[in-house]
Each structure stands twice: as C-alpha cells, then as structure tokens.
Amino acid sequence: MEPCAVPKNPWKTDCACVSRRGNGIMASWNRYRSRIREAKMFVLVLLVWLLPVLEAVKVSPLIEKVGDHKDFKKLLRTRTNVLVLYTKTATSGDSHLKLLSDVAQTVKGQGTIAWVNCGDSEGRKLCKKVKVDPSSKRGGAELLHYKDGTFHTEYNRPATFKSMVTFLKDPSGPPLWEENPEAKDVIHIETEKDFRKLLKREERPILMMFYAPWCGVCKRMQPIFQQAATETKGKYVLAGMNVHPAEFDGLKQEYNVKGYPTLCYFEKGKFLHHYENYGATAKDIADWMKNPQPPQPKTPEVPWSETDSPVFHLTDESFDSFLEEHPTALVMFYAPWCGHCKKMKPEYDEAAEILNRGADSPGVLAAVDATVHKAVGDRFKISGFPTVKYFEKAEEKYTLPQLRSKDKIIEFMHNPQAPPPPEQSWEEKPSSVSHLGSEDFREALKKKKHALVMFYAPWCPHCKNAVPHFTTAAELFKEDRKIVYAAVDCTKGQNHELCKQEGVEGYPTFNYYNYGKFVEKYNGDRGEAGFTGFMRSLRGRDQEKVVKRKDEL
C-alpha cells in the first residue's frame, strides 16, 4: 500500500490513511485521559489516607517529640517542669496536640511539653519502660507531669487552655476556682471587659468576690460563697474574679480592694456596698442579699491603757533600765490585735494589781507592745503573741507558755520554777507510723503499694485527736511490707513546701498513694475503724485481682 501524500489542508482530507492515523491518535488520547483519571484518583485516595497523618504532623515545634528512652531521661534531667502527652497512636492525641501547641507557646521558658507516641516501635518500648498505657484511657491519651526529674502527678484538671497554662506556671498550686464542679453556679469573670459587660447587661443584683488564688481567707470562704450562689440561683448573681495580677490594679483602686477577699454589691451596674462578714454562712449571704445594708462602722481598737493599768508598759528605750531597777520581773510581749492577748490582759492586770503593790512583792509585771517596740521584740526572738518571759537580775531565765490566768501568774511569781519540759512530739514517740520529710517522702512511698499519709500540724486539735487512732491502725499493718501509714509535719523545715505541693490546705489532710502516685484524698472516719477499714478494702481488692488472674489462667 502506497503511503498517503501530505494533503494541502490536513483538516479537510478524506484520505483513508489519514483516517486510520486519526483513529490511532484518538486511541492514544483516550488511553492518556484514562491514565490521568487513574492518577487523579490515586492522588485523591492518597490524600484521604494521609489526611489524619498530615493533621497529626501539624504540631508546634515547641512540643518535643520523644521516642527513645535515653532521650526521655535526658529531657527529665535537663528540664524541671515537663508535661508529657502519651498517645495510643499518632492520631489519637490530635485534640490534645492542637491545644498543647498553643499552651507551649504561652509557657515558653517556664515549662516544657513533650509527646510520646506509644503506637510506633520506639514509643512502644519507651511506654513499656515507664509503665504507661494510654490505650486504657479515654480517647487513647494520657497526660503526666514530671518535676525535677521525677514523676509528680497525673494531669487531671480540665483540658482547657487556661487550666493547662495555670497548671504549668505553678504545678503545685491550687486548681482554678472555676474548675470546681460545685462552683458551677458562680459566674467566673476573667477580664475587665467581661466584668464591665456583666455590670451593663445584668438586671439582677450582683455580689462580686474579688480574690487572689493563694489567699487563705478566700479559700475558706469560697465553698460558702458557691453554696450561696446555688441557693440563690435565679434571684441574684454571685460572681468571682481573680484580681491579683497587676493588670487589675486600676480596678482594685476603683473599688477600694485593699485586701482579699473584697466583696462588692452592685445594683443595675452601680456599686452600692461592701460586704464584710467574712465569717458568714451561705444562709447569712442569702439573707443579706434580700436586704443589703452597708457595713456597720467598726468599733475602734481600745489600746491597753498605760495610765489606768497597774502593769508597767515598757519601750525599746526603757526596757533595760527597768530590768536593772527590778531584780525579778515577768514581761508579757503582746500585739494589740492578738485575740489571745486581749483575753489575757484583764487576768494580767488583776495579777499586777496584787503583785505590784507592797514592799514584800515577789516581783513586778510589765508588758511590751512588740509591734511598736520591735528592737526589743527582735532581740528576744518574739515570733508569737502573747509570749511571757521571766527575768532575774536583768537576765532572761524562763519562757512560760503556761501562764495565762491570774492565779497561775501569782503562784509562779511566789515560787518561780522552770516550766515543765515540752511534751514529747509524735515523731519522737516510738510507733509504726513512718515520719517523712521533703528529703525522703517520694523515695519512701515509691516502695509501698498502699500508703495513707497524714499531713498535720503539732498544734492542731483535730490532728491531736486523730493521732492515737492513726497510730493504732499503723500498728495493725506493721508486718505488711506493701503497706505504710506515714505522717508529715507541715510546720517543720522544708515540709511546708512539700505539703503545698501535695494539695494540703488544712490540717489534718489524708492522702492515699499507690507506689508514690497520688490517687485520692481520704475523707472517711478519722477513728481506728475508718483508717483500718480503708486499708482492708484495698487489700481485699488486691486479693480479688489475684483470684481473677488465676481463673483466667
């Protein structure tokens, strides 16, 4: 067959060869288009498959991805404040990672956030070594906090930006008030803008508590305030606002906030009164809201009259010369605001009336306001009020905490005797309770499966009542190596910081730990039956697990 001649107009030819060639071109074109469609479909499928992975990859560079156990140990060794997210797979922690990316940016330089994917081969080994299994957690993710190179606590606060930032800035600090589910009826205000909006839109009367998170009076009053908010819900608005940060200095000046808490009452956006009953009950607050009245003027503090009192009132300047003139003297160091001092003043005055008169007096009674005359107070290391000291020939001889009544003061002055030795402390008495401090607390508890720890203060009456029962319970379990009853004196040395870290806000506080990990607060009966029953229930659960495993085998 002869080849086709090239037509003059290739678009207008009816040559049979050209027709055959055109059919070939069309077939090639159709194959090309088919491959393009296949390629597009492949890319689409690939994108759909990669989408979760791509989403998971969108992690802030401030979040440290850790897979190797050596790298993990190095991280804990070089950083003091680390929050670690453990995830079951690369994608199971997506929601956490997006939030933590923002948190990491805010706490940069103050805390570190790390991520361990327990689903890949490296991460699986690491998770096994540190005994973490996020698959058992809801959502396949678990957050654990490490402080100063060791495990500190599980993060169990709300997974919100504000809560996480607050936690990382102070991991041992108290949780936010709004995190307490019992405070759900309190309106929690965060910014001055939100505060102004509330005043503008709210028709109901408002009682606003301006507070600071660290304030002890605020902490004691908050449960009462939130109970009042629940009881008056719908009628009134009870709100709270942390105004401690410097950004609220203008607001504090506007509403005369000179201390915490300060409670302000508003009607239709206008400030009317302060509420100053800080010892109120929820009912007191609810009743006051029905008929809000301005606070009554305070009764001025009545000073200890130096002219009418038979007690000699000394100063920094007169102290030494007075003692030289009076060979035997009892001196009361006091503060005008001290309740115990006020109670003791009339007793001290009556004793002085008897002792300071007559030539045969065994000695004189004097007093020093140590808040004014600080030099003499510092000289004798006065740290509490009242402090009573006995002097002979201008030399300090005894400190006498037991002298509070007129009769005891007179009796002592006629027969000065050394005070009885201080009562033996709980720690000094032999018992099966392990007394721990900041230096050995963590290591000691890590070795015990079940530990019930009593955080206490020696002067606390509720603690004193619980001590014999707690001690008896410890004695009953002393042969069990997996159990310990331990105690921490929160007033001693560095223990104050430890108690703060462990969430101690009052005495006594009882915490239960499992191999050094905090599990829950014990709020049961504080008698022997309560302490022993709690531990027996834990041992009973252990036995049930052993039996269950045997049955499975």
DSSP string, 42-84: HHHHHHHHHHHHHHHH---TTEEE--SHHHHHHHHHH-SEEEE
Q: Which of 264, 341, 463, 499 is catalytic?
A: 341
164 CB-near residues (< 8 Å, 6+ apart): 83, 99, 100, 103, 155, 157
Let me know if 118 is a catalytic residue. no
Contact 488, 160 (CB under 8 A): no
The pair of three-digit structure tokens given for residue 7, joined into one six-digit string: 């037509």
Count of CB atoms situated within 10 Å of the CB of 159 = 15
The pair of three-digit structure tokens given for residue 236, joined into one six-digit string: 């009134």
Q: Which of 4, 15, 17, 215 is catalytic?
A: 215
Q: Which of 218, 264, 463, 490 is catalytic?
A: 218
Count of CB atoms situated within 10 Å of the CB of 71 = 14
The pair of three-digit structure tokens given for residue 366, joined into one six-digit string: 């004097």
Return d(Cα 516, Cα 451) in angstroms, integer. Answer: 8
Taken in order 533, 535, 537, 543, the sign of the CA dihedral is negative
Return d(Cα 19, Cα 475) in angstroms, integer. Answer: 106
Task: Decide: helix, strand or coil at residue 528.
Answer: helix
Return d(Cα 291, Cα 373) in angstroms, integer. Answer: 45
Contact 383, 345 (CB under 8 A): no
Contact 274, 256 (CB under 8 A): yes
Taken in order 416, 306, 342, 377, the sign of the CA dihedral is negative
Let me know if 463 is a catalytic residue. no
Query: Cα-Cα-Cα-Cα dihedral of 268, 272, 276, 277, to 10°?
Result: -50
Let me know if 341 is a catalytic residue. yes
Residues designated as active site: 215, 218, 338, 341
